[in-house]
Structure 1
Amino acid sequence: MNKLVNRSLATGALIAAMAMATSASAAISQGATAPDFTAQASQAGKATTITLAKALKSGPVIVYFFPSAYTGGCDIEAHAFATEAAKFTAAGATIIGVSADSIQRLNAFSADPNYCAGKFPVASDPEGKIAASYDLKMSAAEPNATDVRGAVIDHGFISRTTFVIGRDGKIAAVFSSEADHLHPQDHVSKSLAIVEQLQSAKSP
């Protein structure tokens, strides 16, 4: 984890630029029906296709939008989701990450043992269409931006926002780093607490 924190500090300037670029937007709210989507995604380094409606057949779904793979906060968040993946599974929940990264970048990120570690899919939304359906804005690409590997980031940034969607397709909770002043890890702990509550609520 220290390695991730150090990388986060090393990319502080980029994260600050991303925070400024991804100005807060009024995401769709709790109780609304979550927009369905189908997207190309990657899990464990392999491209696949995911559909929200299909995932909901198994239980609640966490759809979390993040600015970019291989940047400090997003790396910490992915690592935390991967670390807690078994607990989400035990609560009957599915995790889906969404960013504007290309599928090629996500193939590497999804398989990286330091981050997603093959535990959940990350979907590519290069034009921000999925984000827009959730009333999230995508900023333009930052000139000369690079990730923690030194690779160029040539896509826009979607603000860090998490939606916990109940099996009924309704949004049970929504929170963002900007509006709620959350650390990336908070998105994971809050999501887990909510799906565990949903699981307890349906138990006899």
Structure 2
Amino acid sequence: MTEQKRLSPGEQAPAFTLPDSEGKPVSLSDYLGRSVVVYFYPAAGTPGCTKQACDFRDSIGDLATSGYDVIGISPDKPEKLAKFAAAEGLNFPLLSDVDRKVLAEWGAFGEKQNYGKTVMGVIRSTFLVDPEGKVKKAMYNVRATGHVAKLLRELPA
């Protein structure tokens, strides 16, 4: 596998502006002054991504109590994100990165192992970004199931 970009704690989080499920632009800079969980997932509506999104949905109160907003990003088109958000009652923005540029800048797109083969794709990743826009924690190759509960246990004070 080739060397891939990875973000590290203390680095400035790469800026982005992407359309949400309604086509409205959302920027990371909209969250300056607040902590945010930015998570990248492969495809809306698939079993693992649905489980992960629903875990974030069900934990949004605990995350908010800890001072965190949530943003989900995938290469899906806004229309697919809208259907996904409506079907699952999601209570946080889903953003569309169809050209995978933001995914790549965050190190969440590249070579990965899939059933023993090396393929190019979305690397399920989660980042904690502090109120100044710096990466507080970078987690790559996270599991879809149980990840949010683990994240809540490990949230930095």
Give the CA deviation at 1:194.
4.4
The within-5 A match list for 1:1-204 is: 25-42=4-21, 46-57=22-33, 59-113=34-88, 117-138=89-110, 157-177=121-141, 182-195=142-155, 197-198=156-157
Relative contact order: is structure 1 or structure 2 higher (C-alpha 8 Å, sep ≥ 6)? 2
Letter in 2 for 1:110: A
- Aligned partner of residue 96 in structure 1, secondary structure: strand
Give the CA deviation at 1:85.
0.8
Q: Distance in 1 between matches of 2:69 and 2:86?
A: 17
Q: Distance in 2 between matches of 1:118 and 1:72?
A: 15
Residues 190, 36 of structure 1: alpha-carbon distance in 2 compared, 3 angstrom cutoff: farther
What is the Cα-based RMSD across aligned positions, in Å?
2.1
TM-score (normalised: structure 1): 0.66
- Aligned partner of residue 167 in structure 1, secondary structure: coil
Letter in 1 for 2:18: A
Indicate the structure with greater helix content. Answer: 1
Q: Distance in 1 between matches of 2:36 and 2:3?
A: 23
- Aligned partner of residue 24 in structure 2, secondary structure: strand
The alignment of Structure 1 onto Structure 2 pairs a total of residues equal to 148
Residues 78, 162 of structure 1: alpha-carbon distance in 2 compared, 3 angstrom cutoff: same
Are the aligned partners of 1:25 and 1:136 in contact in 2 as well (CA < 8 Å)? no
Once the two structures are superposed, residues 122-172 of structure 1 have per-residue CA deviations (whole angstroms, 9 ceiling, x without a partner) of 100000111122133257xxxxxxxxxxxxxxxx84110111111121111
Letter in 2 for 1:55: Y
Q: Unaligned 5+ residue runs, structure 2?
A: 112-119
Q: Distance in 2 between matches of 1:91 and 1:158?
A: 28
Q: Unaligned 5+ residue runs, structure 1?
A: 1-22, 140-155, 199-204
Percent identity of equivalent pairs: 29
